[in-house]
A and B are shown apart, each in its own frame.
Chain A
Amino acid sequence: EAGVTQSPTHLIKTRGQQATLRCSPISGHTSVYWYQQALGLGLQFLLWYDEGEERNRGNFPPRFSGRQFPNYSSELNVNALELEDSALYLCASSPAPGQGGFEAFFGQGTRLTVV
């Protein structure tokens, strides 16, 4: 069974540009979570999507946004990139809330570098 897959593996953008990161959850999982792992700041919760809806949002500015598609894959968009957005962006998936087996499994991440 395939795990959580993220693309691209690496992404280099210029300050002010937009970045789009993609995530495919484990088959059968409906919830997708996005986290930012910046150097020295640990893992910070960004967004949670389930059944196509945004369920929760972390303490990040509105230029961090995303969506979830009918096949449960997800996209994270970061607009007006700033140098401090450079980080490893991790996607995790888990079964639907209340469906049991709520463990979250992570992908390998997308390394975003803003220059």
Chain B
Amino acid sequence: QQQVKQSPQSLIVQKGGISIINCAYENTAFDYFPWYQQFPGKGPALLIAIRPDVSEKKEGRFTISFNKSAKQFSLHIMDSQPGDSATYFCAASKGLTGGGNKLTFGTGTQLKVEL
């Protein structure tokens, strides 16, 4: 049972453009939604995270939008750069309820930013 669905599977964006990756979850008990960035041969790196009591969070060029009623959240990368080319994973956990941070991941989006 896939509890976090991620789309698109791959994405090509021109330099300076906006990259948008979407995720939808099923388990309403999830209360913590991070995004990870992974480069080939490396472990995932925490990029930005949001809690369900907030509809949007921005850190630099990265913004998470969260829609609790639709059970959806998305990552927006503004002014996309070639260095942003990586695989992005959304995830969800029940971290806030003290149940640890066991993460359920989406299937990943391979982003390529072209010059």
Contacts and interface: CB of A to CB of B under 8 A. Distances in A.
B108 A42 contact: yes
Contact of B45 (A31, A45, A94, A106): A106
12 contacts: A31-B100, A33-B100, A33-B102, A35-B103, A42-B89, A45-B103, A48-B102, A97-B98, A97-B99, A104-B34, A104-B101, A109-B42
Contacts of A102: 32, 95-96, 100-101
Interface of B: 32, 34, 36, 41-46, 49, 89, 91, 95-96, 98-108
Given A102-B95, A103-B34, A43 B44 contact: yes
A103 B49 contact: yes
B100 A50 contact: yes
A45 B49 contact: no
A55 B107 contact: no
Nearest to B4: A42
A45 B2 CA distance: 12
Contacts of A108: 41-43
A66 interface: no
A107 interface: yes
A33 B103 contact: yes
Interface residues of A, number: 25
B44 A56 contact: no
Contact of B105 (A4, A43, A55, A103): A43
Interface of A: 4, 31, 33, 35, 42-45, 48, 50, 55-56, 90, 92, 94, 97-98, 102-109
Contacts of B32: 102
A6 to B, nearest CB: 8
Contacts of B106: 42
Contacts of B99: 97
Contact of B46 (A43, A50, A105): A105
Contacts of B49: 103
A43 B89 contact: yes
A9 to B, nearest CB: 10
B44 A55 contact: no
B102 to A, nearest CB: 5
Nearest to A108: B43
